[in-house]
Amino acid sequence: MFSSPAPSQYILAFIAVLAAVRAFPQPPGSETTPIPAGPELRVFDPSLIDKTVDPCENFYRYSCNGWFKRNPLPPDETSYGRFRELYDVNLLHLKQILDEAAVPSPTRSPNEQKIGDEYASCMDTATIDKAGIAPIQPELNRIAALKSIADLPALLAHLHTIGVNAFFSISSSQDFADANSEITYYSAAGLGLPERDYYVRTDAKSVQQRQQYVDHVGKIFVLAGEPDVRATRDAETVLNIETRLARASLTVTELREPKNLDHATDMASLSKELTHFSLAEYVAAAHAPAVSKINDAEPRFFAEFNALIADTPLDQIKTYLRWHLLHTYAGTTMPGNFEAESWHFYSHILNGAEKQQERWKRCTSLVDYEMGEALGQVYVAKYFPPEARQHALEMTLAIEQTMDKDIEGLDWMSAETKIRAREKLHAVMNKIGYPAKWRDYSTVSIVRGDALGNQERLSNFEFARELAKIGKPVDKEEWDMSPPTVNAYYEPQQNNVNFPAGYFQPPFFSDKEDDAANYGDMGSTIGHELTHGFDDEGRQYDKDGNLKDWWTKADEQQFNDRAECTVKQFDAIEAVPGVHLNGKLTLGENLADLGGLWLAWMAWQEKAEAQHVDMAARTDGYTPDQRFWIAYAQQWCTQTRPEQLRTQAEGDPHAPDEYRANTVLTDLPEFAKSFSCKKTALMVSPKPCRVW
């Protein structure tokens, strides 16, 4: 839910909304009554098709143009697609739950009191504004009181407990070498810009963004009471310190390679490296369990951190910490002028939003983000019928069976590797809808009228919950997404697929529609998550989640050669003028899309045959095969601002949706056949890529 410790976790799609709550805050605006849901959402929707476009030339535009017409990009969104369309429906349901829970009543359950009062406190902008910076003042004082660098470990540990992302982060994580054991995991952190390359790129746009970042940091310091001249100087200090950290950090592409993060060590060894920072004092102050085995994910970063704290004046370190404290809380829980400034930089400048999102949406997302399993429990009872769960499970099992046959039939893989690949597939755990055991929030105190204090206590709760896992058996029943989330993920170190309840609804899945539509859409997602276990990153983990090579050298070479085809395909795409997609960064997602869609297609063909579906019959003018492909493409209908497209192309492992839809289809001759596309058509690749 919070910063996930898992070094590699494969989600289906980038969704701005949850990130927006904490990182891209917005100020309170005038509230309006939520608009009731628009036209009925369908998995296969013929009314969205644009028949003036040739499906063999641009299938995405052919399938989605009607949706684009119906859904102009809202001014408060940086991108808006079908995931967000459904999440908006879920938000209305969640709001209803929260509105009820927010009414003070002695009959509220403990969870209702917590989610209701957190929501009410977040909505109460009058109280937040009136308090000014007083609620954060004790923390500012604590930083100001730092006497020497020797006291940094205790201060930093405290800041980490309240969610401040300064310098580095500590969490629990499964040992790469032994997936049964949870060890302490230290990773690089401490940047205010989205990722390390923002600090080092030399193109004009990036130089401008860094200047805008410095302006933003300066304005936040001014709001916190600093004189202008000092604020400007302090903002430069922040950029300088973060640039040093960034230069020593791995790139987003390097972070996708698990071997780059695998540096098992122990307390004694890391302590020796950190000559200017007492790790023992830090661990004690963070209340982290004292287990000896740890992973230092980025040794080069920690060496630089050690040097930086020794040669940087104490005042500058304090400035850096002050910025990160204010940045963390400038979100939804500080006065409106902080939120406005934060929104202006992160949502407007970096991602192109024109207007702030309504506050009820932000507060609802906040509760979903911070207490998702308290809110989600009510949500699931109301909106996720057992039949939907059963149907989802059946589809998952059908696609797993298809993958089994697919692996068996591969012409490039040896019998030896096939045995282990199938063992891994058979060991996949299917998690559907919601957790078997709900998270216990009883130790968190939520106080009505104390929005910032609530956020501090919830951060503290999450930090303690995370660290408490160290040294204990791995809990594979734990979820990293809340039940109402419209998304899915594969967890490589646990070899499980996770499909939250919020996703199993139209326009992605519907009991009212047939298998052609459901397999094309939800089926391809199930296939996508399963394929993540066998993409360039996931394939490096064995059936038990250990980072252990189970491939013959020859098979590995075969895999890499095939994957290279996909790398080149995406490298060639120019997403915004001057910015190409990064084939290596997006490889895992692209392989998952390609394999997932193929598996869904095979599973659906088999099912149709068993059920004697008339494949020539037309519904709404389309054959079942055609509806399968259209349902696939329609899940990706998304409008994105150029600013966000740029951010996404530079740092997101997911390619923009148009390319996710079209590129995969050009690789599948079965698609071309369904629409009688000529060999020379744009939607037919002369050299199709295929791995799984």
The helix-helix angle for 110-123 and 359-370 (nearest 10°) equals 140
Round to whole Å and give the CA distance between 145 and 160.
17
Interface residue with Zn ion among 6, 7, 10, 213 (CB under 5 A) is: 10
Q: Which residue is nearest to Zn ion (CB)?
A: 10
CB of 13 to Zn ion, least distance (A): 7
What is the closest distance, in whole angstroms, from the C-beta atom of residue 492 to Zn ion in the complex?
11
Which residue, 501 or 592, is less far from Zn ion as judged by CB?
A: 592
Rounded to the nearest 10°, the torsion over CA 138, 139, 141, 142 is 120
What is the C-alpha separation between 135 and 122, in angstroms, rounded? 14
* Residue 438 CB-density burial (10 A; 0-12 exposed, 13-18 middle, 19+ buried): middle
**What is the phi/psi pair of residue 490, to 5°?**
-115, 135
Smallest separation, CB 297 to Zn ion (Å): 21
Question: Whole-number minimum distance, CB 326 to Zn ion, in Å?
Answer: 34
Instruction: Tell me which amino acid residue 110 is.
Output: P
Q: Closest CB to Zn ion among 341 and 529?
A: 529
How far, in Å, CA of 405 to CA of 243, rounded? 50
Site for Zn ion in 182-241 (CB under 5 A): none
Contacts with Zn ion, 579-598, as mask; x by CB under 5 A: ----------x--x------
* Closest to Zn ion by CB, 11 or 152: 11
**Between residues 357 and 662, which has the closer beta carbon with respect to Zn ion?**
662
Q: Which residues within the stretch 330-369 sit at the binding site for Zn ion (CB under 5 A)?
A: none
Report the Cα 190 to chain-centroid distance in Å. 18
For residue 170, give the nearest of 302, 74, 69 by alpha carbon: 302
Residue of 529, 531, 544, 540 whose CA lies nearest to 498: 529
Nearer to Zn ion, 530 or 608 (CB): 530
Nearer to Zn ion, 555 or 589 (CB): 589
Identify which of residues 10 and 671 has a Cβ nearer to Zn ion in the complex: 10
Minimal distance in Å, beta carbon 647 to Zn ion?
18
Least separation in angstroms between CB 650 and Zn ion: 18
Distance of CA 542 to the CA centre of its chain: 24
| Span interacting with Zn ion, options 3-11, 36-44, 416-424, 432-440, rule CB under 5 A | 3-11
Q: How far is the CB of 392 from Zn ion (least distance, A)?
A: 17
CB of 12 to Zn ion, least distance (A): 5
Q: How far is the CB of 258 from Zn ion (least distance, A)?
A: 16
Q: How far is the CB of 615 from Zn ion (least distance, A)?
A: 30
- Which range, of 11-19, 112-120, 562-570, 683-691, touches Zn ion by CB under 5 A? 11-19
Indicate the residue among 352 and 588 with the shorter CB distance to Zn ion. Answer: 588
**Is residue 181 helix, strand or coil?**
strand
**87 binds Zn ion, rule: CB under 5 A:** no
Judged by CB under 5 A, the chain residues 531 through 590 that form the site for Zn ion are 589
Point out which span in 4-12, 354-362, 423-431, 539-547 binds Zn ion (CB under 5 A): 4-12
Chain Cα centroid distance, residue 357: 20
Paired with 491 in beta bridges are 496
Instruction: Return the number of the residue (12 or 123) whose C-beta is nearest Zn ion.
Output: 12
Alpha-carbon gap, residue 692 to 686, rounded angstroms: 19
The token pair at 504 is 């199993």
Segment near Zn ion (CB under 5 A); pick from 7-15, 242-250, 308-316, 637-645: 7-15
Judged by CB, which is closer to Zn ion: 186, or 534?
Answer: 534
Sequence-distant (≥ 6) Cβ neighbours of residue 482 within 8 angstroms: 1, 368, 369, 372, 373, 375, 376, 500, 502
Supply the minimum distance, in Å, between the C-beta of residue 597 and Zn ion.
12
Q: How many residues bind Zn ion (CB under 5 A)?
A: 4
Which CB sits closer to Zn ion, 483 or 538? 538
Quote the least distance from Cβ 490 to Zn ion, whole Å: 7
Distance CA 479, CA 373 (A): 9
Q: In the chain, count of helices (H) and strands (E)?
A: 28, 12
CB closer to Zn ion, 270 vs 592? 592
DSSP secondary structure of 24-87 = S--------PPPPP-SPP-SS-GGG--TTS-TTT-HHHHHHHHHHHH-PPPTT-SEEEHHHHHH
Instruction: Tell me which residues touch Zn ion (CB under 5 A).
Output: 10, 12, 589, 592
